[in-house]
Amino acid sequence: MAGRGTDPAAGCPDCLPVRQARLLAGWGDWTAALDVLDPLLDAPAGCTAQPEAALTAALLPWLRAGRPEQAGHAHMRAYRRHRTEPDGFGHLANHLRFCALGGHLDRGLEIVVEQLPRLDAPHEDLSVMEFAAAGALVCGLAGEADAGRMVRRPAYRGRPAAEVTATQLGAELLAVATTLAGSFDARNGTGHQSGRMAAWLAERPLAPAVPLPADEEFGSDDEFGPDGEPDGPAGRSTSLGGTSGMAVDEIGALTVSMITEALDRRGDDYTVDPAGTVLGRWDDAVIQFRRAGAHQDILHARVVAGRRLAATRRTEAYAFCNAWNRDRLLPKAYAHDPGDGELVLAGEVTTDLAYGVAPDQVAVLVDAAIRTGVAYAAAVTALP
């Protein structure tokens, strides 16, 4: 989502450097890719995709630059978000290529197996092609290291769950990648994508693996400072702010107090955790409000429907979310599989308030998030 932009036609100003860095990295200009990303990593802006998108784009340039520890730290931090976020699928290929070229084949296989079911969800072909090619690379390298390496492949794309060799799984993914690359090239009259994927598959680890940081080292709201290193306590503000003395139509920075006062005026019950996340329940909807972005100026509301669906109803869940997103403006709906045999149906509303907001406006946004969230949860409850 856009933070502080000057040219709406150019898209989000904080995502543009990420796209530029990927292009430069694809050309092999690793130093230039890092130069483009440095401003985002030094002072992440208000885009809700950052800093994780920038960190993921820097993974291979950091590896090529001989900075594997930094790349490993960035991978662990960013994958926490991309692991389940609907928009994170397009970043998975970079995570897998990092694992392959960084020598972390066991972790790479874990990610491939964990993420395979997401191929059943609608994604644009480029991301599917890149995920499949990067997954095939990981599986191929693992098969070279141990020809008998077995993995538990989950059900995906009509294939039943089964114990298969890493080499066999790699062959399945290779077929997906080459088919899509051929389709791109047939439409464009070139061999670009086929050649690009072939170059990926020819890559080999750059250096011996260095230990990755433990996942437990990262909090759910970690922020990053210069070059992707985590900030210390002084690097982020946990002030909840207040609206004492503000008129209801006076413009100011978004604060947690604006959110809680809006709920107080509604007479709603809620809790606030130490990080300033506001949580409440309305009928069958559990709704969370929090400030997001490096400047804490983005209002993010997430609704989780009380009813869950069996994981076997994945196709139905995706169809429901697609229909909701087609017919309704809010919230943006998606299905999440936590791996316990049930699907969580959730939705989110994100509003950029970088230029300030009045308490009355926050009240309108909170009320709209609750009304649409309750309607979403009720629709989930009404499913057969």
Cβ pair 77, 220 in contact under 8 A: no
Would you say the pTM of this structure is higher than 0.85? Answer: no
Fold match flag (8-228 vs 242-381) = no
Say how far apart CA 252 and CA 257 lie, in whole Å: 12
259: confidence class by pLDDT, cuts 50, 70, 90: very high
Q: Which residue has the higher pLDDT, 288 or 230?
A: 288
| Fold of the CATH domain 8-228 | 1.25.40
| Fold of the CATH domain 242-381 | Yope Regulator; Chain: A, (3.30.1460)
Mean pLDDT of 116-143: 92
Cβ pair 204, 141 in contact under 8 A: yes
Average pLDDT, the chain: 85
The whole-number pLDDT of residue 13 equals 76
The whole-number pLDDT of residue 172 equals 95
Neighbours of 178 (CB within 10 A): 19
Q: Where are the domains positioned within the chain?
A: 8-228, 242-381
Give the H/E segment covering residue 85. none
**Of 135, 137, 140, 141, whose CA–CA distance to 156 is shortest?**
135
The whole-number pLDDT of residue 294 equals 80
Sign of the torsion formed by the C-alpha atoms of 136, 142, 147 and 153: negative
**Cβ-proximal residues to 27 (8 Å cutoff; 6+ apart), any chain:** none
pLDDT above 70 covers what percent of the chain?
A: 86
The whole-number pLDDT of residue 91 equals 95
> What tens digit of pLDDT does each residue of 5-61 get?
444 434 567 788 898 998 888 888 889 999 999 888 876 556 778 889 999 999 999
Conformation bin of residue 11: beta by default, left when phi > 0, alpha when psi is -120 to 50: left
229: confidence class by pLDDT, cuts 50, 70, 90: very low
Mean pLDDT of 295-308: 92
DSSP codes of every residue in 128-163: HHHHHHHHHHHHHHHHHH-TT-EEEEPPBTTBPPEE
> What tens digit of pLDDT does each residue of 303-353 get?
999 999 999 999 999 999 988 988 887 788 999 888 889 999 999 988 888
246: confidence class by pLDDT, cuts 50, 70, 90: low
377: confidence class by pLDDT, cuts 50, 70, 90: very high
Q: Is 313 exposed, middle or buried (0-12, 13-18, 19+ CB in 10 A)?
A: middle
